[in-house]
Amino acid sequence: MIYGGDIITPILMGIMLGGLYALIALGLSLVFGVMRLINLAHGDFVVMGSYIGYALMRNFGIDPILGLIISIPVMFVLGFFIQKYLMGRAFAIASEIPLIIAFGISLIIQNAHQIIWTPLSRALNTPYSHMSFHIGERQFPVSYLLDFVAGILIMLFLRWFLKRTYLGMAITAASQDKRVAQLMGINTGRVYGYAFAIAMVSAAIAGVFLGMTFPFTPTSGISFLTIAFGTVVIGGLGSMLGTFIGGIILGVVQTIGGYLFGPASQMLLVYIIVLVILAIRPQGLFGK
């Protein structure tokens, strides 16, 4: 990205882009908060969401956002079964095994994408994602605005869900103290399954908005996993609001980095900030 003019434009773009980063990171944050698992496959789940949107759009002409009606149940069921039959078993063996299994799933999804879709770069091109809107004199792509709105909505929904619904409270309880939650009659195995499934749904949504904003390839998952890591490290693992703010900070840092040092090194500033925060406050700015 090349920005002309003053610094306000990159800041505004960064804030909107941050919505997308938060959207990508929310699922990672939820799974970590509940199961203490760094889901290395999360980036690939996001890209899977993008490809499902792409397949529906290309083969049936379904708008990617409408296509979520189909992809959300698919990803939900898939997530539930991954947790039940792979991760759940892995947790029973030893604590580091789920991490390795997640890495294996990441490899499988990535290469399956490569075989099905070829390594070519794809994008979700809709009539509206290429339009632009104005804030004062400044012009921005509509897709960025959609990212931001979707990021806020999903974050608020997850917050409401975890605090106000029975299932959400059960998930929170299981994450705070698994044994006590079990004594209170919560089926933690099933609750973990739902938590993983919800993380997959957020990945499906993130994938669609990602695909409308940036082109993606089968290997994009790794770079978006790094971004999600950064977001979660800044915001604090497990906190939804923290993750959202982390996403905004990361987005702004990236666009300012691009503005100051040129597009090639825009991520460098992000990595430096992530390393500094890890060294000073490993639990993140908003983590407990």
Partner 1 sequence: MVIALCVTVALAIMPLVGVPKSWILYIFLFFIYLAMANMWNLLAGYSGLVSLCQPAFLGLAGYAMTIGTWLDIPWWAGMIGGSLIAGLFALLISSAVFRLSGVYFAIGTLVVPEALRMIFFLWRPVGGAMHGAGAGYMIKGIGDLSPHVVYWLSIFVGVGSLFLVKGILRSKLGLGLSAIRDNERAASSSGIDVFRLKLYVFIISAIITGFAGTIYYLYQGYIEPTATFNVRWTMTLLLATVIGGIRTVEGPVVGTVVVVFLYFLLARYAGYSLLIQGIILVGIMLISPQGIVGILRRSKFYDSIVKRMK
Question: Which residues of the shown chain bind partner 1 in the complex (CB under 8 A)?
Answer: 38, 86, 89-90, 93-94, 96-97, 100-101, 103-108, 110-112, 114-115, 222, 226, 229-230, 233, 264-265, 267-268, 271-272, 274-275, 278-279, 282
**Do 218 and 117 contact (CB within 8 A), yes or no?**
yes
- Min. distance of Cβ 218 from partner 1 in angstroms? 8
- Supply the minimum distance, in Å, between the C-beta of residue 114 and partner 1: 4
- Closer Cβ to partner 1, 111 or 176, answer by number: 111
* Amino acid in the structure at residue 226: T
- CA–CA separation, 214 vs 97, rounded Å? 33
Of 5 and 263, CB closest to partner 1: 263
Rounded least distance, CB 132 to partner 1, Å: 29
Which residue lies nearer to partner 1 by CB, 15 or 222?
A: 222
CB closer to partner 1 out of 107 and 149:
107
What residues have CB less than 8 Å from 168, skipping those under 6 apart? 160, 161, 162
**Distance of closest approach, residue 71 Cβ to partner 1, in angstroms:** 22
Least CB distance from residue 31 to partner 1, whole Å?
A: 12
Return the SS3 of 216.
strand
Backbone angles phi, psi at 52, to 5 degrees: -65, -45
Q: How many CB atoms lie within 10 A of CB 259?
A: 22
Q: Which CB, 113 or 203, lies closer to partner 1?
A: 113
Closer of 183 and 279 to partner 1 (Cβ): 279
Helix (H, G, I), strand (E, B) or coil at 80: helix
Q: Minimum Å distance from CB 267 to partner 1? A: 6
Q: Please, what is the Cα angle at 198 between 172 and 166, to 5 degrees? A: 40
When the beta carbons of 212 and 273 are compared against partner 1, the nearer one is 273
Write the secondary structure of 108-167 as one string of H (helix), E (strand) and C (coil).
HHHHHHHHHHCCCCECCCCCCCCCEEEECCEEEEHHHHHHHHHHHHHHHHHHHHHHHCHH
The CB-of-162 to partner 1 minimum distance in angstroms stands at 22
Reading the block at residue 248, the tokens are 């905004």
Q: What length does the chain have?
A: 288
